């Protein structure tokens, strides 16, 4: 009788624990919002920057602006025969002309959108002077790449004169600006996300201050909803993503913009929790300017232990095209939000 009593208690506690875990991992599907289809932009840090470059090139008919923080040009690793480390640490070896040909060839055969779509896009490129992960001189290679595709070179804005390590420069959150911090958020007294978004959206955004609150909603959503024949884990993607909905966009009456922010390696929720999605500086800008911020999430796997976005081919040879598995997943997220 005593053993049965304790077994029943153990079974009850086990069931309760399982239910708690199921509840914590549950997230609703993405909702549709009132979004201007001509005001969708992307950005990222490090591998997220490389993913943003790929997403912009592959879907340039849908994306009007790009922000790159410590990123590399399209096709640098894999498609142009260079290794990951060479792309990040040996900028002198990056053949920009070859990468332009890679993009133009992909456009010709239809695996990415027509490169002419990028002619009027706004591009913001940031590289810190002390960056030890993606060397400072990689930034100018991106400038060369985008000067070829943009009709007005003033559309490409750079910030190469700021002394920071590898990470997202923020106004007042994170570790020391010139130190390598585990969450890659840098306290630099420089609002990188604002300056980037302000350039992308025309230079007239309202500037947040240290007292600006995130009055909207930071919501989790079910990323598995955009995988039809597989699971997110198959392609090193998390089953949970985040979206910040500004208070002015929640009612869906105001026309809002959409920005997709790709985190860097070891910056997804399984590594840093919600630090990136709360403190990288995007939400305050979005709140004041009716910009919805979509935060897709990747996670670690056997082929991707550091939780990086795929910019070298660990998910397959089509990773940098419209048919890439991660590319397709994020495109479907975008379509669900925009409608």
Positions annotated as catalytic residues are 46, 131, 166
Q: Tokens at residue 34, please?
A: 């009132």
What number of CA atoms fall less than 13 Å from residue 78's CA on the CB side? Answer: 17
CB 225 within 8 A of CB 29: yes
Distance CA 319, CA 102 (A): 14
């Amino acid at each position: 009788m005593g053993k049965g009593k304790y077994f029943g208690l153990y079974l009850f506690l086990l069931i309760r624990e399982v239910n708690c875990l199921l509840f914590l991992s549950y997230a609703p599907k993405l909702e549709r919002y009132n979004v201007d289809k001509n005001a969708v932009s992307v950005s990222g840090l490090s591998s997220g920057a490389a993913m943003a470059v790929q997403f912009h090139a592959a879907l340039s008919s849908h994306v009007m602006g790009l922000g790159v923080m410590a990123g590399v040009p399209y096709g640098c690793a894999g498609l142009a025969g260079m290794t990951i480390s060479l792309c990040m640490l040996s900028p002198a070896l990056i053949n920009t002309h070859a990468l332009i040909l890679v993009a133009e060839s992909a456009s010709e055969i239809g695996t990415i959108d027509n490169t002419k779509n990028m002619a009027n896009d706004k591009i913001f490129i940031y590289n810190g002077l002390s960056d030890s992960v993606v060397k400072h001189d990689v930034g100018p290679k991106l400038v060369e790449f985008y000067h070829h595709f943009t009709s007005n070179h003033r559309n490409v804005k750079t910030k190469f004169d700021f002394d920071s390590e590898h990470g997202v420069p923020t106004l007042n959150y994170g570790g020391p600006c010139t130190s390598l911090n585990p969450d890659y958020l840098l306290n630099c007294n420089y609002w990188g996300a604002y300056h980037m978004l302000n350039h992308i959206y025309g230079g007239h955004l309202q500037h947040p201050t240290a007292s600006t609150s995130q009055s909207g909603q930071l919501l989790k959503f079910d990323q598995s909803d955009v995988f039809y024949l597989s699971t997110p884990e198959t392609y090193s993607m998390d089953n949970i993503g985040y979206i910040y909905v500004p208070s002015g966009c929640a009612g869906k009456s105001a026309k809002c913009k959409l920005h997709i922010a790709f985190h860097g390696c070891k910056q997804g929720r399984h590594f840093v929790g919600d630090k990136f999605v709360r403190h990288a500086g995007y939400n305050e800008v979005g709140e004041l300017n009716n910009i919805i911020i979509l935060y897709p999430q990747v996670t670690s796997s056997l082929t991707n232990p550091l939780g990086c976005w795929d910019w070298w081919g660990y998910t397959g040879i089509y990773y940098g095209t419209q048919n890439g598995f991660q590319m397709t997943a994020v495109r479907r997220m975008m379509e669900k939000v925009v409608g």
